[in-house]
């Protein structure tokens, strides 16, 4: 261990835990300020997310979305690209899922549709990231600007398609027809024996999300491309000197990132809603940024961060339900505090902690 | 924490939940994603529930969903606790209502703005285009420039249908009336962006519009503000918005979601609740236009007479307003 550093476990587990604890402490003060008991609030939050079958199912369902969008942001981070277009890439990814499902659901079982839907989601999501990627690589237009603009273009495109082209006849709601069984992923509790998630839509996508984590880990740390991505992210000049093409890495990384974001739609569209509808992404793409930050851009960290945010979503809904004084806006405040402490104030506790570890390890190193 | 204390801790939470389940047959209301105090749509539902509470002295439960995925959970939660009826506001809750209605066949549900075909669901839908027709007629008669405006929220079918009715109403006055129309956007933010609403209204005024209707929820607040600032006339929707800018509001086209919620609650209380589809238009009082102290001076007797005549014609079926959902593309 070098001076001024912490052991890895402290960096990956202790730091996030302290940040979350601090966020919950401040949230507790807010709850107290509006006249509710913060301990009851935490109790309901945790119980709502993990205390009953349906709650666990919903937590996993939300977590699945966050894993995909979190991975998308993380992969781009490794090349020091800031892809904040996950929202739009997932939205357009939904189009890929829906086209596969609408074409096949009446003729084949779900396991034939699934690979095509996943491929469609990834391809459409990647395609949506391609133009910002090329603009960044060849023209130097910053992806932060272009990807966020592409979120709006995605929204316009999808509304146009859903209102004018794909909507079912005579419906007020801009959405496609509902998929038949061939376009629906099985729920997790129908696959796993002895598990019952009630009406929660946790589905096979959770497994796909875990596979995507494994894929990301292998890609970033065990392949040549991953090495190039990390090198490019660490020092672009050195990467170019080493013969790594910045254009190629920028584009390929953004394609992978967009593909992962697009795959979020598999969970929502094929796993839960069973139809393509407007605004199904509803912020998951943006929360993915917080998930990636909190998970230290490592797939394992992202899984935990995604489950934490899944807990906040699901437990938060229960909390708003049980304590009418705590409105859904309060839940957003709590989520925002977690993001604030885990993301923006990430370095608040770090120097103290590093000093602490320095003191603890000092006698040991002297002895050696 | 040991497993035992952990379990008792969670057990305590379960107890807490169970205790709040005590009161049964309390009616419940689940708002759409816009939130309870959105100034138009959900707020109208809230007013209906508040009216019920004030008149009967009984309580009700309500819940604001933050995203569509929460709707099913909220409806099931209320149904599980014996709430009767459970009223869902907004078309985006349709699939959740049909799911919850299937899971709880003994509970009663209602949905506003969408039809859900189930034996324990009451669906309340409005013929908004009829109200829009009256608005278009009044706007065309009040306009001095012969140009009127329309600022919609999100470009979705329900807003397009409203626009079509408005244009038809204007065309009924004179074929020469020009209608400028803009939609505020393609995301739900289009219903919550007053700055953009004001911007669109100003550009329409610059192109000659002197009466502008808003069909854009929170965005519409900006439309009406810009219209009043420019000394032109605005038309409100959903709630009575005449009081926002007295003297600059031609009228408000009300959609009586409040009455729909109130009627659901009261029917259940009297044991007279029935499932089925309720279609409410001008005839049933589900849509109306407001004439009060704030706009009395702006509506001439000729305008009032024409509007009343159109209203009666539509109510009696002599006059049919084009419904883009049923009859296809707007003919204008």
Helical pair A224-234 and A53-78, crossing angle rounded to 10 deg: 70
Q: What is the pLDDT of residue B1?
A: 39
- Mapped onto helix, strand or coil, the DSSP state of residue A9 is helix
Residue A123 resides in a domain: yes
ipTM comes to: 0.75
- Averaged pLDDT score across all residues of chain A: 91
Please give the structure tokens belonging to residue B84.
């009767």
Separation in Å, CA A356 to CA A5, A6, A316: 10, 9, 35
What architecture is the B23-126+258-280 domain classified under in CATH? 3-Layer(aba) Sandwich (3.40)
Among all chains, which residue has been given the structure tokens 């539509």?
Answer: B314
Fold matches, B23-126+258-280 and B128-254+300-327 = yes
Give the model confidence (pLDDT) of A25-41 as tens digits.
999 999 999 889 999 99
**CB-based contact A163 B157, cutoff 8 Å:** yes
| DSSP per-residue letters across B103-140 | H-TTS-EEEESS----TTEEEEEE-HHHHHHHHHHHHH
Which strands make up the sheet holding B287-289, listed edge to edge? B178-185, B147-154, B211-215, B233-238, B249-255, B287-289
Alpha carbons B70 and B52: distance in angstroms, whole number: 25
Q: What is the pLDDT of residue B112?
A: 92
pTM (2 d.p.): 0.85
Chain A residue at shortest CA distance from B74: A321
On the 0-12 / 13-18 / 19+ scale of CB atoms within 10 A, B12 is: middle
Closest in A51, A163, A282 to B13, CB measured:
A51
Label residue B22 by pLDDT band (50, 70, 90). Answer: very low
Helix (H) or strand (E) holding B86: strand B86-89
Min distance B279 CA to chain A CA atoms (Å): 14
**CB-based contact B66 A332, cutoff 8 Å:** yes
Q: What is the pLDDT of residue B274?
A: 94
- In 3D space, the residue among A283, A261, A265 whose CA is nearest the CA of residue A274 turns out to be A265
User: Quick one: fold of B128-254+300-327?
Assistant: Rossmann fold (3.40.50)
Alpha carbons B76 and B41: distance in angstroms, whole number: 23
Q: Count the alpha carbons within 13 Å of A292 in the hemisphere toward its beta carbon.
A: 28
pLDDT at A74 over 50: yes
pLDDT at B267 over 50: yes
Which residues are CB-contacts of A264 (< 8 A; sequence separation ≥ 6)? A64, A65, A68, A69, A72, A86, A90, A93, A121, A281, A284, A285
Alpha carbons B287 and B92: distance in angstroms, whole number: 21
Min distance A171 CA to chain B CA atoms (Å): 7
Buried b (16+ CB within 10 A) or exposed e, A64-85: bbbbbbbbbbbbbbbbebebbb
**CB-based contact B10 A47, cutoff 8 Å:** yes
| DSSP per-residue letters across B135-146 | HHHHHHHH-SSS
Mean pLDDT, range A265-292, rounded to an integer: 92
**CB-based contact B66 A328, cutoff 8 Å:** yes
Alpha carbons B188 and B154: distance in angstroms, whole number: 6
Which is more confident, A167 or B204?
Answer: B204
pLDDT at A85 over 60: yes
Tell me how many residue pairs between chain A and chain B have CB atoms under 8 A apart: 100
Separation in Å, CA A4 to CA A9, A299, B247: 15, 25, 69
Domain boundaries, chain B: 23-126+258-280, 128-254+300-327
Alpha-carbon dihedral angle through residues B150, B151, B152, B157, given to the nearest 10 degrees: 30
User: Which segment of A10-24, A293-307, B104-118 scores lowest on mean pLDDT?
Assistant: A10-24
Q: Residues in chain B whose beta carbon is closer than 8 A to a beta carbon of chain A?
A: 9-10, 12-14, 16-17, 20, 35, 61-70, 72-74, 76-77, 91-92, 94-95, 99, 103, 113-114, 154-158, 160, 185-188, 325-326
Please give the structure tokens belonging to residue B256.
């009586």
In A, which residues are within 8 Å of B114 by CB distance? 172-173
Give the model confidence (pLDDT) of A296-307 as tens digits.
899 999 999 999
Alpha carbons B72 and A292: distance in angstroms, whole number: 29
- pLDDT above 70 coverage of chain A, percent: 96
Residue A315 resides in a domain: no
In B, which residues are within 8 Å of A63 by CB distance? none
Q: Are A255 and A129 in contact (CB under 8 A)?
A: yes
Buried b (16+ CB within 10 A) or exposed e, A88-116: bbbbbbbbbbbbbbbbbbeeeebeebbeb
**CB-based contact A317 B70, cutoff 8 Å:** yes
**Cα B43–Cα B44–Cα B48 angle in degrees, nearest 5:** 115
**CB-based contact B9 A163, cutoff 8 Å:** no
Considering its fold, how many domains does chain A have in total?
A: 1
| DSSP per-residue letters across B193-255 | -HHHHHHHHHHHHHTT--EEEEESTHHHHHHHHHHHHTT-EEEEEES--GGGSTTSEEEEEEE
pLDDT at B3 over 50: no
Min distance B86 CA to chain A CA atoms (Å): 14
Label residue B15 by pLDDT band (50, 70, 90). Answer: very low
Residue A298 resides in a domain: yes
**CB-based contact A167 B16, cutoff 8 Å:** no
Give the domain extent around A213. Answer: 60-302
Give the model confidence (pLDDT) of B124-164 as tens digits.
999 999 999 999 999 999 999 999 999 999 888 889 999 99
On the 0-12 / 13-18 / 19+ scale of CB atoms within 10 A, A296 is: middle
| DSSP per-residue letters across A106-119 | TTS-HHHHHHHHHH
Min distance B129 CA to chain A CA atoms (Å): 13
User: Residue A282 maps to which CATH number?
Assistant: 1.10.3470
Residue A219 resides in a domain: yes
In B, which residues are within 8 Å of A163 by CB distance? 155-157, 160
Helical pair A350-367 and A15-33, crossing angle rounded to 10 deg: 140
Q: What is the DSSP letter of B39?
A: S
Closest in A58, A163, A320 to B155, CB measured:
A163
**CB-based contact B13 A47, cutoff 8 Å:** yes
In A, which residues are within 8 Å of B156 by CB distance? 159, 163, 172, 174, 278
Mean pLDDT, range A174-195, rounded to an integer: 91
Mean pLDDT, range A76-84, rounded to an integer: 96
Alpha carbons A69 and A150: distance in angstroms, whole number: 16
**CB-based contact A328 B65, cutoff 8 Å:** yes
Chain A residue at shortest CA distance from B186: A156
């Amino acid at each position: 261990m070098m001076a001024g550093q912490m052991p890895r476990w402290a960096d990956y587990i202790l730091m996030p835990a302290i940040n979350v604890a601090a966020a919950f402490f401040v949230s507790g003060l807010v709850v107290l300020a509006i006249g509710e008991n913060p301990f009851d609030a935490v109790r309901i939050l945790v119980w709502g997310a993990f205390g009953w079958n349906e709650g666990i199912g919903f937590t996993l369902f939300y977590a699945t979305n966050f894993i995909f969008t979190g991975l998308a942001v993380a992969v781009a981070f490794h090349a020091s690209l800031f892809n904040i277009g996950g929202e739009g890439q997932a939205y357009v990814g939904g189009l890929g899922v829906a086209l596969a499902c609408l074409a096949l659901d009446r003729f084949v079982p779900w396991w034939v549709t699934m690979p095509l839907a996943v491929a469609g989601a990834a391809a459409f999501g990647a395609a949506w990231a391609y133009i910002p990627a090329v603009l960044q690589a060849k023209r130097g237009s910053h992806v932060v600007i272009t990807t966020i603009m592409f979120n709006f273009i995605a929204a316009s495109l999808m509304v146009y398609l859903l209102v004018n082209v794909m909507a079912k006849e005579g419906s007020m709601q801009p959405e496609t027809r509902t998929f038949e069984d061939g376009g629906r992923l099985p729920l997790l509790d129908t696959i796993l024996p002895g598990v019952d998630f009630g009406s929660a839509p946790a589905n096979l996508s959770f497994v796909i999300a875990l596979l995507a984590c494994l894929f990301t880990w292998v890609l970033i740390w065990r392949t040549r491309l991953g090495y190039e991505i990390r090198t490019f992210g660490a020092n672009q000049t050195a990467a170019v000197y080493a013969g790594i093409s910045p254009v190629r890495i920028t584009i390929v990384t953004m394609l992978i990132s967009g593909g992962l974001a697009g795959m979020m739609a598999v969970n929502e569209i094929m796993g839960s809603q069973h139809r393509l509808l407007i605004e199904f992404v509803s912020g998951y793409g943006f929360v993915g940024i917080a998930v990636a930050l909190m998970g230290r851009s490592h797939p394992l960290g992202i899984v935990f961060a995604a489950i934490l945010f899944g807990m906040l979503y699901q437990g938060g809904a229960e909390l708003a339900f049980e304590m009418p004084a705590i409105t859904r806006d309060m839940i957003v405040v709590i989520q925002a505090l977690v993001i604030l402490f885990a993301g923006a104030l990430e370095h608040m506790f770090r120097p103290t902690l590093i000093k602490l570890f320095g003191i603890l390890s000092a006698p040991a190193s002297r002895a050696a | 924490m040991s497993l035992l204390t952990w379990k008792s801790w969670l057990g305590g939470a379960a107890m807490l939940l169970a205790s709040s389940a005590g009161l049964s047959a309390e009616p419940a209301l689940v708002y759409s994603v816009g939130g309870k105090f959105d100034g138009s749509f959900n707020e109208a539902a809230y007013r209906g529930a508040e009216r019920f509470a004030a008149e009967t002295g009984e309580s009700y439960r309500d819940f604001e969903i933050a995203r569509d995925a929460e709707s099913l959970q909220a409806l099931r939660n209320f149904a599980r606790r014996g709430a009767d009826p459970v009223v869902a506001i907004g078309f985006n809750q349709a699939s959740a209502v049909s799911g919850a209605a299937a899971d709880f066949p003994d509970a009663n549900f209602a949905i506003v703005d969408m039809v859900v075909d189930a034996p324990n669901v009451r669906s309340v839908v409005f013929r908004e285009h009829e109200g829009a027709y009256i608005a278009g007629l009044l706007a065309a008669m009040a306009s001095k420039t012969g140009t009127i405006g329309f600022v919609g929220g999100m470009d979705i079918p329900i807003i397009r249908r409203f626009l079509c009715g408005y244009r038809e109403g204007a065309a009924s006055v004179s074929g020469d009336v020009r209608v400028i129309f803009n939609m505020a956007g393609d995301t739900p933010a289009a219903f919550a962006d007053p700055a953009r609403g004001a911007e669109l209204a100003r550009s329409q005024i610059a192109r000659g519009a002197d009466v502008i209707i808003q069909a854009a929820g929170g965005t519409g607040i900006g439309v009406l503000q810009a219209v009043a600032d420019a000394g032109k006339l605005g038309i409100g929707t959903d709630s009575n918005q005449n009081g926002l800018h007295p003297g600059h509001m031609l009228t408000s086209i009300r959609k009586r979601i409040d009455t729909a919620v109130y009627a659901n609650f009261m029917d259940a209380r009297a044991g007279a609740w029935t499932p089925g589809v309720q279609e409410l238009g001008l005839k049933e009082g589900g849509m109306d236009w407001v004439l009060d102290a704030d706009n009395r001076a702006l509506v001439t007797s000729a305008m009032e007479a024409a509007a009343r005549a159109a209203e009666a014609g539509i109510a009696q079926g002599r006059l049919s307003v084009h419904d883009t959902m049923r009859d296809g593309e707007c003919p204008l």
